[in-house]
Structure 1
Amino acid sequence: MKNKIALASLFMLFTINTFSQSISSSPYSMYGLGSLYDSDFGSISSIGSSGIALPSNRFINNLNPASLGYMYQNHFLFDVGGKSILSTYENSSKKESRNNFQFSHIALAFPVTSKSAVSVALQPYSSAAFKISNLLLPIENSADTYVLNASGSGGLNDFDLSYGYRIGKKIALGISTNFLFGNTIDNRDYTVSNSITTINKKSYYNGVRVSFGSQVQIDSTLSLGVNFKSPSQIKASKVQSVISYNNSITTTIETDANYDVDDYYLPLEIGVGLSKVFKNNLNFTIDYKKSLWNGTNQSDIYGNYLNQDKFAMGFSYSKTKSIRSYFDRIQYATGFNYDSGFLEIDNKRINNLSFSVGVSLPVENQTFSTLNVTYSYGQKGSISNGLIKENYHKISLNLSLDGIWFVKRKFE
């Protein structure tokens, strides 16, 4: 127990130090609310971010609230994680590398009755951290050009409250309420000839989103899962300052002016998943998700929103639980993930493809506590059409702790 407390404290310090920092440096985070963030609890990152059909009996499964209906009684689950990412960005003329550390999530779950459980989680929802220097762009309907310098930071946070209830032994239903809140800072300089216009903008967002899920245990080796995320309106406002520099003359156009801006809309999302356990302790998971961004009837000034498809697949393997050797209790996993992207820039989708491998290292013998370590490699975007290609190497660390509460002592 002391080892678990020490590990939890270490991860708590890590997350406190990194939660307030920008969690992404992708140039594509300048669009909309920023780059959307997928927090993977437990070992989910090592199986390609799949797992809609997995129960929350050994770890907190944030992909489907219905999974809480299968949580073991008297168990208390705690999950915290972070990531380290080395990214390389390149276009037709330049190439550079950046690295950063990301807070992933902090969550806990506990049973309410023998057939139901609750989870609470805090995680990033999006990140708007970017920096662009000396980008030459054409002026619309003109032969002239201008130079753009831009930088941004911030993003949205997601406070998640979920509840799952099991009906009988094979069916579970769940509901999640997500409270989204945060702000983004966007500073841009536009240079045309000898004139520079500086626009500093801070945008504020808040909204609520509800999700519904279900899981069905067909038999002891096969389960199915479904998840629905409702469309949601994210209210927005901004404070803006504009200054113009022309030769030696400085003109303040506005200072901290308040504006009501167009609200941001999240789409209807539908996800389905399957989990199959084979006799040799090999577990196969596969998910498909569809996000109807086109139905939100919104667009970004630099691109268009399109319907999004996500495919995730993973394999995990561990030996029988009766083996006492520590190394025989390690779980090994690998996965694949493809995201078609929901943003189109210059008629080119910004898609994302990744591959992952990982291990789950037991923390102690008597519980399900594990330290999950995952390596992922992925590519986002492309060099064609003047876009930027992003290659990244990611190390994910998740600590999943399991505590057994309210059990009477057998011996005094």
Structure 2
Amino acid sequence: MKNKIWFILFFAVQSFCVFSQSVSTSPYSVYGLGSLYESDFGSIPSIGSSGIALPSTSFINNKNPASLGHIGKYSFFFDTGLKGIQTNYNSQSASEKRNNFQFSHIAVAFPITSKSGVSASLKPYSSATYLISNYKIPISNSNEFYYLDAASYGGLNSFDLSYGYKVQKRISLGLTTSFYFGNINDVKDFTIANSITNINKKSFYNGIRFTLGNQIKIDSTFNIGLTVKTPTKLAASKTQSVTTVNLTETQYVETAVDSDVTDYYLPLEFGVGFSKAFKKNISLTFDYEKSLWNGTNQTNLYGEFKNQDKFALGLSYVKKERSIYFSDRIHYFSGINYDTGFLSINNRNINNLAFSLGVGIPIDNTKSLLNITYSYGQKGSIGNDLIKENYHKIGINLSLEGIWFVKRKYD
């Protein structure tokens, strides 16, 4: 037990250390709040990010707060993860390869009563990291050009508090309160002839969002889950400095000027999920989620917001949950995920298709698993000045269960 505790602490410290280094290098980070993260817990990344209908009997299910109504009476769950991503970027004229390392999440969950449970988690929500160098732009009604150098870093984080309650044997309800916070720093240099204008802008965002969840157990093998995420406004403000430098002088046009910026709106979202067990060792999951970005009525300088559809399908297998043989208790996973995207650029949606394979390695004789996931995916497309991303992703997730609420029988 002491070794397990030290292992938990080490993994948690490493997670916090890389938290501030979690960045997305996708060129699509320039849009909105940046690239949105997929910070799913337990084995969910291995089954195509499906799991709205799965109860939290063996891991923390962040897809549906109602799952916490099924947490074991004496269970305490700890969950954290890391990701490594290799991405190939391809356009009509060039290609580039980048590697990235990301923090995924850190979370705990435990029961309050025999029918209810709570969880708390910290995870990145978005990352707005990109770099543009020496981009040549024509000046309107002129034969001259100016050059743009731009960089951005930062993003938003989410702290979630969830509660689930089993109303009756077959029905549970849940609520998640998400607190969003963070900042995005943009630096732009405009070079015209011998003059350089620098704009340094730091934008701050914060807001609260609620997720309602429901799970219904049709029979011992078939579950249905429903979720609704409320639309919300993320309040925004900024601090901006503007400096112009030429051959003879440096002019400070603005110095750390505070002002309001356009607020950002998150849409109404709803999801439905199904899970079906076969022969007690095979499980099939399917989720559909809809995000009504059109209803936010917000504009983007470079694209148009579109309603988003997500489809996720997952398959899991374990020979025998309880066995004296280690090999029998290894879990195997596979999944597929398709996302239409919520941005249309040059009349093309930035969609995403990904396949995943995973294995869950048992730790001790508990429900604890070390989950290892491999995913391959494609995002975007080539043509119309767009970029296609082909990525390989390795995820390591530690999902631990401890029995922390049982009185000691012997001293």
TM range, smaller chain = over 0.9
Query: Partner of 2:328: helix, strand, or coil?
Result: helix
1:87 aligns with 2:87: yes
2:3 alignment counterpart: 3
| 2:381 corresponding residue in structure 1 | 382
Task: Give the residue type in structure 1 aligned to 2:312.
Answer: A
- In structure 2, the residue matched to 1:368 is 367
Deviation at 1:281, TM superposition (A): 1.5
Whole-angstrom CA distance in 1 between matches of 2:175 and 2:46: 25
Instruction: Name the structure 1 match of 2:57.
Output: 57
Deviation digits for residues 308-336 of structure 1, max 9, x if unmatched? 11111110100122432111100000111
Instruction: Provide the residue aligned with 1:228 in structure 2.
Output: 228
CA distance in 1, matches of 2:87, 2:332: 25
Equivalent residue of 1:151, what SS? Answer: strand
Q: Is the 8 A contact 1:66 1:213 kept in 2?
A: yes
**1:250 positional shift:** 3.3
Cα distance in 1 between the residues matched to 2:280 and 2:213: 29
- Deviation of residue 144 (structure 1)? 5.5
The alpha-carbon deviation at position 139 of structure 1 amounts to 4.9
Do 1:39 and 1:123's aligned partners in 2 also have CA atoms closer than 8 Å?
A: yes
Check conservation: 1:106, 1:122, Cα contact below 8 A: yes
Q: Which moved more, 1:273-282 or 1:351-360?
A: 273-282
What residue number does 2:286 align with?
286
Is the counterpart of residue 253 in structure 1 residue 238 in structure 2? no
User: Which residues of 2 match residues 22-171 of structure 1 at below 5 A?
Assistant: 22-139=22-139, 145-171=145-171
- Counterpart of 1:112, as a letter, is I
Asked if structure 1 preserves the Cα contact closer than 8 Å seen for 2:22 and 2:103, the reply is no
Give the structure-1-normalised TM-score: 0.96
1:144 and 1:291 map into 2 onto residues whose CA distance is: 43
> What is the match of residue 339 of structure 2?
339
* Matches of 1:239 and 1:67, distance apart in 2: 42
Where does residue 348 of structure 2 map in the other structure?
348
- TM-aligned CA distance change 1:141 to 1:288, over 3 Å: farther
Deviation at 1:386, TM superposition (A): 1.0
Name the count of aligned residue pairs: 411
Instruction: Say which is worse superposed, 329-338 or 93-102, in terms of deviation.
Output: 93-102
- Note the C-alpha offset of 1:101: 1.3
Amino acid at match of 2:161: L
Return the letter of the residue paired with 2:370.
Answer: L
Q: Which amino acid aligns with 1:293?
A: W
Q: Structure 1: which 5+ residue stretches go unaligned? A: none
Distance 1:31 1:407, change over 3 A: same
- 1:409 is displaced (CA, Å) by 4.4
Aligned letter for 2:88? T
Q: Which amino acid aligns with 2:394?
A: I
SS at match of 2:28: helix
Partner of 1:401: 400
What letter matches 1:282 in structure 2? I
Greater CA drift, 189-198 or 74-83: 189-198
Bigger mean CA deviation after superposition, 133-142 or 203-212: 133-142
Q: Secondary structure at the match of 2:18?
A: helix
TM-score (norm 2): 0.96
CA distance in 2, matches of 1:275, 1:113: 25
1:148 CA drift (Å):
2.3
Distance in 2 of aligned mates of 1:12 and 1:374: 19
Answer yes or no: is the 8 Å Cα contact 1:4–1:363 preserved in 2: no
| Equivalent residues of 1:4, 1:401 under 8 A apart | no
1:146-177 deviation per Cα after TM superposition (whole angstroms, max 9, x unaligned): 43221111111101000000011100000000
Deviation at 1:289, TM superposition (A): 0.6
Kindly tell me: are residues 260 and 409 of structure 1, through their superposed partners in 2, closer, same or farther at Cα, counting changes over 3 Å? closer
**Structure 1 residues 194 and 41 mapped into 2: Cα distance closer, same or farther (>3 Å)?**
same
Per the TM alignment, residue 138 of structure 1 is displaced from its structure 2 partner at its CA by 4.7
Paired with 2:27 and 2:373, the residues of 1 have a C-alpha distance of 24
In structure 2, C-alpha distance between the alignment counterparts of 1:377 and 1:215, rounded to whole Å: 30
Letter in 2 for 1:106: I
Contact 1:22 1:128 in 2 (8 A): no
Partner of 1:392: 391
One-letter amino acid of the counterpart of residue 383, structure 2: S
CA distance, structure 1, for counterparts of residue 383 and residue 36 of structure 2: 23
- Cα RMSD (Å) of the superposition? 1.6
Whichever residue aligns with residue 406 of structure 1, its letter is F
Q: Name the residue aligned to 1:200.
A: 200
**Aligned residue runs from structure 1 range 245-324, under 5 A:** 245-279=245-279, 281-324=281-324
SS at match of 2:381: coil
- Residue 145 of structure 1 and its aligned partner are, at CA, apart by 4.6
**Cα distance in structure 2, aligned partners of 1:175 and 1:98:** 38
Q: Distance in 1 between matches of 2:176 and 2:184?
A: 25
Which stretch shows the higher mean deviation, 116-125 or 89-98?
89-98
Q: Post-superposition shift, 1:141?
A: 7.1
1:363 offset after TM fit, Å?
A: 0.7
CA–CA separation in structure 1 for the residues paired with 2:268 and 2:34: 19
In the alignment, the residues of structure 2 paired with residue 247 and residue 346 of structure 1 have an alpha-carbon distance, to the nearest angstrom, of: 39
Q: Percent identity?
A: 60
Structure 2 unaligned spans of 5+: none
Per-residue deviation at 1:249? 4.4
Deviates more, 1:238-247 or 1:59-68: 238-247
Q: Which amino acid letter does the alignment assign opposite residue 211 of structure 2?
A: S
The amino acid that maps onto 1:275 is: S
